[in-house]
């Protein structure tokens, strides 16, 4: 059977991973590996981290009565939490917990729809609660084709992780996004009021387990920890790349750039924004981004070709200059003339290959490109 949970937190606090951890600790049956899935980032009523949880449990129909009682006593009371955001203009909605139970794993198609767009409730199974049932069911439907793992620990009091432990962990071959290389600030500990002490990401289960234990030993007191299989860094939210020839470029106040009227490179996107500012008309690019309300929010970009028209170079190595309308060009040094008025020369972009936002500005789902 497949059990899912979502939407128990708000910007003010709470944490669905901790609620799920406590549920797993209380289950009267065995279970498989817990899973944490990030879904479409623009969903109107998404939770703070946009993460839903699921697990395969090894039980029969008698588990339904136990889950019903657990829901009423421990999860339903979390409904209705709400706080106003001081860092986002996105409308905040009260928490609306949802729990789902399916005899068989739901169709994978539901996951793909939920990670790439907004979906409604999935029918079937046994369900408790409100909108959280969407994320809960989508997590149950996920098939880990490109899984990573995250080890999460929850704090008892203060949030404090030793830098010595972080240095050890970030040097491990299979951990990633532990520290921002620009600012040297650690990226594993949240800064809000949630109960998470840290979340360390890795490309193998074994490394996630080892890194979690090292960090727990180097942290203030925790109330528990668990490693989740996740779809983070999978790139599942983007179906394909798009190629584009630059026809228009608009610079906005604050350094934001709009390409072709609907491709947005925000100032916070770092090198992505730098490339967007550097581009000229007729340049060709390839990009990755999510479409929302008719606009693409650029998450990665690379220059395919870029050239500019300049006066031709003379054989002596000097660039020629115009002699006047209809009179051709002439070298100002050796006085050689040419009827070739312009030559197309390749412009070298400030970065080669794929460019992404800084580590602390990427989406959880964003795949690291090389």
Residue extents of the structural domains in the chain: 2-141, 148-230, 242-306+348-361, 307-346
- The CATH number of 2-141 is which of 1.10.3470, 3.30.450, 3.40.720, 3.30.70? 3.30.70
Q: Which residues fall within 8 angstroms of residue 327, CB to CB, at 6 or more apart?
A: none
Q: What is residue 345's predicted lDDT score, i.e. its pLDDT?
A: 74
Instruction: For residue 272, report the phi and psi dihedrals to the nearest 5 degrees.
Output: -60, -45
The token pair at 214 is: 């090292």
- Are residues 1 and 63 in contact, defined by beta-carbon separation less than 8 angstroms? yes
Q: What is residue 87's predicted lDDT score, i.e. its pLDDT?
A: 44
Task: Tell how far CA 344 is from the center of its chain.
Answer: 39
CATH class of 242-306+348-361: mainly beta
Confirm whether 2-141 and 148-230 share one CATH topology.
yes
**How much of the chain, in percent, has pLDDT values that exceed 70?**
94
* SS3 of residue 325 by DSSP: coil
Q: What is residue 191's predicted lDDT score, i.e. its pLDDT?
A: 84
Residue 109 DSSP code:
H
Q: How confident is the model at residue 226 (pLDDT cuts 50, 70, 90)?
A: very high
**How much of the chain, in percent, has pLDDT values that exceed 90?**
69
Query: Is residue 13 predicted with pLDDT exceeding 70?
Result: no
Lowest mean per-residue pLDDT among 4-13, 77-86, 231-240 = 77-86
φ/ψ bin of 28: left (φ > 0), alpha (ψ from -120 to 50), beta (otherwise): alpha
Residue 311 DSSP code:
P
Task: Tell how far CA 34 is from the center of its chain.
Answer: 20
pTM: 0.85
Mean pLDDT is highest, among 118-127, 316-325, 340-349, for 118-127
Q: What does the pLDDT average to over 270-299?
A: 94
Sign of CA dihedral 201, 195, 40, 270: negative
Lowest mean per-residue pLDDT among 11-15, 69-73, 81-85, 297-301 = 81-85
Classify strands 321-322 and 196-202 as parallel, antiparallel or unpaired. unpaired
Q: CA-CA distance, 218 to 197, in Å (whole number)?
A: 11
Q: What is residue 49's predicted lDDT score, i.e. its pLDDT?
A: 59
Beta bridge partner(s), residue 129: 98
Q: What is residue 89's predicted lDDT score, i.e. its pLDDT?
A: 54
Lowest mean per-residue pLDDT among 14-28, 40-54, 105-119, 140-154 = 40-54
In 10 A of CB 232, how many CB atoms?
Answer: 25
Q: What is residue 85's predicted lDDT score, i.e. its pLDDT?
A: 44
Query: Is residue 365 predicted with pLDDT exceeding 90?
Result: yes
What CATH number labels 148-230? 3.30.70
- Are residues 188 and 200 in contact, defined by beta-carbon separation less than 8 angstroms? yes
The token pair at 281 is: 């008309």
User: In this predicted model, what pLDDT tens digit does every residue of 20-64 receive, in sequence order?
Assistant: 999 999 999 999 999 999 999 888 766 555 789 999 999 999 999
Which has more pLDDT, 325 or 4?
4
Q: CA-CA distance, 31 to 27, in Å (whole number)?
A: 8
Q: Which residues fall within 8 angstroms of residue 317, CB to CB, at 6 or more apart?
A: none
Task: Tell how far CA 235 is from the center of its chain.
Answer: 8
Query: Is residue 318 predicted with pLDDT exceeding 70?
Result: yes
Q: What is residue 83's predicted lDDT score, i.e. its pLDDT?
A: 47
Average pLDDT, the chain: 90
Q: What does the pLDDT average to over 178-201?
A: 90
Q: CA-CA distance, 103 to 96, in Å (whole number)?
A: 24
User: In this predicted model, what pLDDT tens digit does every residue of 49-107 receive, in sequence order?
Assistant: 578 999 999 999 999 999 999 999 999 998 876 544 444 455 666 788 999 999 999 99
Q: What is residue 42's predicted lDDT score, i.e. its pLDDT?
A: 87
Q: What is residue 127's predicted lDDT score, i.e. its pLDDT?
A: 98
Classify strands 30-31 and 126-129 as parallel, antiparallel or unpaired. unpaired
Query: Is residue 153 predicted with pLDDT exceeding 90?
Result: yes
Classify strands 51-58 and 35-38 as parallel, antiparallel or unpaired. antiparallel
Q: Which of 84, 11, 77, 3 is nearest to 46 (CA)?
A: 11
């Amino acid at each position: 059977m497949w059990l899912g949970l979502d939407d128990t937190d708000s910007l003010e606090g709470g944490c669905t991973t901790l609620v799920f951890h406590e549920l797993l600790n209380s289950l009267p049956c065995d279970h498989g590996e817990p899973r944490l899935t990030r879904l479409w980032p623009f969903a109107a009523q998404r939770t703070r981290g946009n993460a839903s949880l699921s697990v395969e449990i090894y039980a029969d129909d008698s588990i339904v009565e136990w889950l019903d009682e657990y829901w009423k006593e421990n999860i339903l009371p979390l409904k209705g939490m709400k706080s106003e955001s001081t860092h986002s203009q996105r409308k905040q909605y009260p928490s609306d917990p949802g729990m789902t139970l399916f005899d068989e794993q739901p169709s994978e198609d539901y996951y793909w729809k939920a990670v790439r767009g907004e979906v409604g409730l999935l029918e079937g199974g046994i369900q408790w609660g409100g909108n959280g049932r969407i994320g809960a069911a989508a997590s149950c439907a996920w098939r880990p084709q490109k899984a990573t793992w995250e080890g999460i620990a929850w704090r008892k009091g203060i949030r404090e992780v030793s830098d010595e432990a972080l240095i050890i962990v970030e040097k491990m071959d299979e951990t990633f996004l532990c520290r921002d290389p620009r600012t040297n600030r650690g990226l594993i500990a949240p800064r809000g009021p949630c109960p998470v002490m840290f979340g360390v990401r890795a490309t193998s289960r074994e490394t996630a387990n080892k890194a979690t234990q090292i960090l727990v030993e180097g942290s203030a007191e925790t109330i528990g920890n668990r490693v989740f299989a996740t779809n983070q860094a999978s790139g599942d939210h983007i179906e394909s790349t798009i190629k584009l020839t630059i026809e228009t470029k608009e610079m906005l106040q604050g350094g934001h750039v709009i390409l072709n009227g609907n491709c947005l490179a925000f100032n916070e996107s770092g090198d992505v924004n730098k490339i967007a500012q550097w581009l000229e008309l007729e340049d060709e690019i390839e990009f990755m981004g999510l479409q929302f309300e008719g606009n693409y929010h650029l998450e990665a970009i690379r220059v395919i070709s870029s050239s500019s028209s300049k006066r031709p170079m003379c054989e002596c190595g000097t660039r020629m200059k115009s002699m006047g309308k209809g009179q051709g060009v002439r070298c100002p040094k050796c006085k050689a003339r040419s009827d070739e008025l312009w030559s197309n020369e390749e412009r070298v972009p400030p970065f080669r290959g794929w460019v992404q936002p800084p580590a602390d500005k990427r989406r959880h789902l964003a795949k690291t490109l090389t």
